[in-house]
């Protein structure tokens, strides 16, 4: 496997995992064998990625911000990043609404299927609604308040608090710019070295990626619901996948127009991160690999990746917002509701905000969908309709979430002269010397 390129190795791992699981489910003891003896390796792989997310953000962002040497550059980059993130999200929601209104997947759901789905998944839908209710109880400025941690160690000890860690790292980096060079230099050197170590750990973890995705996909296959349910929801799933594919075309076009990078170079550079996003369904778990690929394989300067990508992983979810728009209108169609133009425009706003608020973990988009449904007056019980196919669609939308972050970081880097020739580092570069 050594000479084969990483994305091929990962693809082979995924395929082998699926085939292995399909063979194992034929045996009585197969599914239990996979949950007891294969799935844990997938979990270990995801954990090892999550393990380095917080140190990576701290190390690279502190280094990245202090390298800027000038606070006005930071605010310039920050403004552009947030502006382009919001613009791509609005494009994604609009594409989603366009597709779902043309294809009308909800119209093909029969009364019997609807009742069956609602009954089967009522419990799961209620659990999601409860989670969403808790989030909704918060006041209007809660998100802003949550941005500032009262204790950095408490913030860094929870992977769900990425934005707080990002806030601290930027704040610390600004402090580092403002103190005299003499005192700043050893601190900067420490974080430079720290950051290099973390990047090396990512290389090492990626050596295990083909085996990790094998285990993840095998576990997913034995846990997935029956094929009949998938068929009933085929049109809906088709709409989501079609919308996501169109969004990918938008990214390729943006990268080509703004940075003159060919679509194939972008896809080749990003494919290991995209495949990992697909296998883990989490942009947060994929973040370390996304950062490494964008920096080393697409040539974006670390000053930009360290700032744009961690923020993107937490707030920029174009795939999620597109899916939320399609799911909301699909549920409305399935319940025989006709959504007015103003209700659909409202969906653009709420889906954009809901995707910003979604955590970068599996299934988070569905929790925030509750808010989109409530705002548009669509029955929340409709969540049960789409539950069966949510996981595979979550895998697909996470690929788009990650690709969107990479696209924006390239565009931002180009606009401030920080896009270079890619320089790939292998895990054993120094070791060999
Ligand atoms: N799983 C997605 C992500 O991590 C979020 C979601 O749409 O559920 O990017």
Task: Give the H/E segment covering residue 260.
Answer: none
- Of ligand 1's listed atoms, the one at least distance from the Cα of 364 is 8
Task: Give residue 1's pLDDT.
Answer: 45
SS3 track for 190-208: HHHHHHHHHHHHHHHHHHC
279 lines ligand 1 (CB under 6 A): no
Distance 360 CA to ligand 1 centre (A): 5
Task: Give the H/E segment covering residue 56.
Answer: helix 53-68
> Closest Cα to atom 7, ligand 1: which residue?
365
280 lines ligand 1 (CB under 6 A): no
SS3 108: helix
401 lines ligand 1 (CB under 6 A): yes
- Of ligand 1's listed atoms, the one at least distance from the Cα of 363 is 8
Residues in Cβ contact with 32 at an 8 Å cutoff, skipping those fewer than 6 apart: none
- Of ligand 1's listed atoms, the one at least distance from the Cα of 319 is 7
Quickly count: other Cβ atoms within 10 Å of residue 48's Cβ: 17
Task: Give residue 229's pLDDT.
Answer: 66
Report d(CA 113, CA 132) in Å as an integer.
26
Q: What are phi and psi of 419, to 5 degrees?
A: -110, 120
State which of 247, 283, 352 you would mutate to test the pocket of ligand 1, scoring each by most atoms of that ligand within 8 A of its C-beta.
Answer: 283
302 lines ligand 1 (CB under 6 A): no
Task: Give residue 406's pLDDT.
Answer: 98
Sign of the C-alpha dihedral computed for residues 361, 367, 373 and 378 taken in this order: positive
Report d(CA 131, CA 140) in Å as an integer.
18
The architecture (CATH level 2) of 6-416 comes to: Orthogonal Bundle (1.10)
214 and 13 in contact (C-beta within 8 Å)? yes
Report d(CA 159, CA 286) in Å as an integer.
13
List alpha helices for 282-419, DSSP H: 283-296, 302-315, 318-334, 341-357, 364-376, 383-386, 390-415
Query: CA 300 from chain center: how many Å?
Result: 19
Give the pLDDT means over successive 10-residue stretches in the chain (433 positions).
Answer: 79 94 92 94 93 89 84 88 95 96 87 78 80 71 85 88 89 93 93 90 91 93 73 88 98 97 96 96 94 95 92 93 95 88 90 87 89 88 86 95 97 94 81 64
363 lines ligand 1 (CB under 6 A): yes
159 and 284 in contact (C-beta within 8 Å)? yes
First-to-last alpha carbon distance for the chain, in angstroms, is 23
390 and 74 in contact (C-beta within 8 Å)? no
Report d(CA 249, CA 263) in Å as an integer.
9
Query: CA 220 from chain center: how many Å?
Result: 18
240 lines ligand 1 (CB under 6 A): no
Distance 395 CA to ligand 1 centre (A): 8
| CA–CA–CA angle 80, 84, 88 (5° rounding) | 175
93 and 321 in contact (C-beta within 8 Å)? yes
Task: Give residue 135's pLDDT.
Answer: 67
């Amino acid at each position: 496997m050594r000479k084969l390129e990483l994305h091929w190795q990962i693809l082979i791992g995924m395929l082998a995992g699926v085939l292995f699981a399909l063979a194992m489910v034929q045996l009585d003891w197969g599914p239990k064998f996979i949950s007891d003896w294969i799935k844990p390796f997938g979990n270990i792989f995801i954990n090892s990625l999550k393990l380095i997310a917080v140190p990576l953000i701290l190390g690279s962002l502190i280094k990245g911000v202090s390298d800027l040497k000038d606070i006005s550059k930071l605010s310039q980059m920050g403004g552009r990043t947030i502006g382009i993130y919001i613009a791509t999200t609005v494009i994604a929601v609009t594409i989603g609404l366009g597709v779902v209104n043309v294809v009308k997947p909800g119209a093909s759901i029969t009364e019997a299927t609807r009742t069956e789905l609602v009954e089967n998944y009522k419990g799961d839908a209620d659990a999601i609604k409860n989670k969403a209710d808790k989030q909704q109880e918060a006041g209007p400025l809660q998100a802003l308040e949550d941005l500032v941690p009262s204790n950095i160690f408490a913030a860094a000890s929870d992977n769900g608090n990425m934005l707080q860690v990002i806030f601290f790292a930027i704040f610390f980096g600004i402090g580092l710019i403002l103190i005299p060079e003499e005192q700043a230099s050893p601190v900067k050197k420490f974080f430079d070295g720290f950051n290099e170590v973390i990047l090396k750990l990512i290389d090492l973890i990626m050596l295990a990626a083909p085996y990790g995705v094998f285990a993840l996909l095998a576990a997913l296959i034995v846990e997935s619901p029956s094929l009949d349910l998938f068929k009933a929801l085929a049109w809906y799933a088709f709409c989501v996948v079609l919308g996501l594919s169109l969004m990918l075309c938008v990214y390729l076009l943006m990268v080509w127009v703004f940075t003159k990078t060919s679509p194939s170079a972008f896809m080749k550079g990003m494919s290991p991160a995209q495949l990992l996003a697909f296998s883990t369904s989490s942009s947060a778990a994929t973040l370390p690999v996304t950062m490494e690929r964008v920096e080393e394989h697409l040539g974006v300067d670390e000053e930009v990746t360290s700032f744009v990508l961690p923020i993107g992983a937490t707030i920029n979810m174009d795939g999620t917002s597109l899916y939320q728009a399609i799911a909301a209108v699909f549920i409305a169609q399935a319940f025989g509701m006709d959504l007015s133009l103003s209700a659909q425009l409202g969906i653009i706003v709420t889906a954009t905000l809901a995707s910003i608020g979604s955590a970068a973990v599996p299934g988070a988009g569905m929790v925030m969908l509750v808010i989109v449904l409530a705002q548009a007056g669509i029955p929340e019980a409709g969540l049960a309709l789409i539950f069966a196919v949510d996981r595979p669609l979550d895998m697909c939308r996470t690929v788009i979430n990650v690709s969107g972050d990479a696209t924006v970081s390239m565009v931002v880097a180009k606009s401030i002269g920080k896009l270079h020739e890619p320089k790939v580092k292998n895990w054993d570069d120094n070791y060999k010397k």
